[in-house]
Amino acid sequence: RVVECPQPNCVGVAYAEPGRRKAMCFVCEHQWDVDASGHDASGEANFSETVRKCPKCQAPIEKNGGCDHMHCTKCGRDFSWTGAGFANTDHRGQGSQPGHVDPQCCIQ
């Protein structure tokens, strides 16, 4: 399940694996005891619909709108939410790639 980081002013999340008591925020790297946090249930998301793991580092990434182009802030990998893949993994500024809904999303 996905849980929100309990640190003030942090918008990060962690993936709390079943059977593990500790979680670590992928943004600020804060570690906490999931059972004692009070944030374990309130930050829970439907993992299969809104969160997928980065294909390179396995960090959970939540999609909350926009096109299918995703960028992992942990390892820097670019990938398609739909799994269509990109011909070039660093395609920002090159316009539309397979899997894009909005061809203007990456043009800077």
- List per-block mean pLDDT (blocks of 10 residues) for the chain, which spans 108 residues: 81 78 84 59 51 85 81 88 60 44 50
pLDDT at 59: 85
CB-CB contact of 95 with 103 (8 Å) = yes
Structure token digits, residue 64: 């909350």
> Distance between CA 97 and CA 86 in Å, rounded?
6
The string of pLDDT tens digits covering residues 82-106 is 876 654 444 444 444 444 445 555 5
Amino acid occupying residue 82: T
> Distance between CA 10 and CA 69 in Å, rounded?
23
pLDDT at 96: 43
pLDDT at 21: 75
